[in-house]
């Protein structure tokens, strides 16, 4: 089951959000799904690519993992609570999402995070990984929420 990522959870709950743009604009502005992954990739495999991209600071791979439509709908809901409408492009949604992932992963020691659990429920999945807090050396849980979007 290949999936795109919609959020990473730790002490903080972070999800990128936005809206707007056509499918053609989205495809032109964002990189493709990272090499080595396909619609048949398991959530565990996707999470491993995510963690490696975070460790390597590979922005292109991270952008390719964003579930843009899911993030956009989340932002729309937040904006609606304040009587406003989101106007973020798909590229902005992806950029905000990646910034959130990087902010959350800053609380993890690079190279020390390993996938431990994979749970699949229909078109969504949750992968848990065990990491290390770089400041204290203590174990830290990383929860990665995923959703199937556009067959990935």
Mean pLDDT over all residues of the chain? 85
Structure confidence at residue 20 (pLDDT)? 40
Walk me through the domains of the chain, giving residue ranges and CATH numbers.
11-147 (3.10.450)
Query: pLDDT tens digits for 41-90?
Result: 999 999 999 999 999 999 999 999 999 999 999 999 999 999 999 999 99
Residue 25 has what pLDDT? 46
Span 11-40, average pLDDT: 59
Tens-digit pLDDT profile for residues 90-101:
999 999 999 999
Instruction: Place 12 in a pLDDT band, splitting at 50, 70 and 90.
Output: very low
What is the predicted pLDDT for the residue at 28? Answer: 53
* pLDDT at site 30: 85
Q: Compute CA distances 55 → 105, 138, 148, whole Å.
A: 9, 18, 24
Query: What is the residue whose two structure tokens read 């952008």?
Result: 63
H or E element, residue 30: none
Predicted pLDDT of residue 45? 97
Looking at residue 17, its pLDDT comes to 30
Task: For residue 17, give the H/E element and its range.
Answer: none
Of residues 150 and 6, more confidently modeled: 150
From residue 107, how far is each of 48, 69, 84, 90, 91 by CA, in Å? 17, 27, 32, 27, 25
């Amino acid at each position: 089951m290949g999936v795109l990522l919609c959020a990473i959870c730790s002490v903080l709950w972070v999800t990128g959000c936005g809206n707007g743009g056509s499918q053609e604009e989205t495809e032109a502005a964002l990189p493709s799904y990272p090499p080595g992954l396909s619609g048949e990739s398991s959530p565990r495999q996707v999470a491993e690519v995510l963690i490696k991209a975070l460790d390597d600071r590979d922005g292109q791979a991270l952008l390719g993992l964003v579930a843009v439509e899911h993030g956009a709908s989340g932002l729309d809901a937040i904006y609606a609570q304040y009587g406003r409408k989101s106007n973020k492009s798909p590229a902005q949604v992806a950029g905000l999402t990646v910034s959130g992932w990087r902010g959350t992963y800053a609380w993890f020691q690079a190279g020390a995070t390993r996938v431990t659990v994979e749970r699949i429920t229909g078109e969504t999945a949750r992968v848990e990984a065990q990491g290390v807090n770089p400041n204290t050396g203590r174990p830290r849980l990383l929860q990665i929420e995923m959703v199937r979007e556009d067959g990935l």
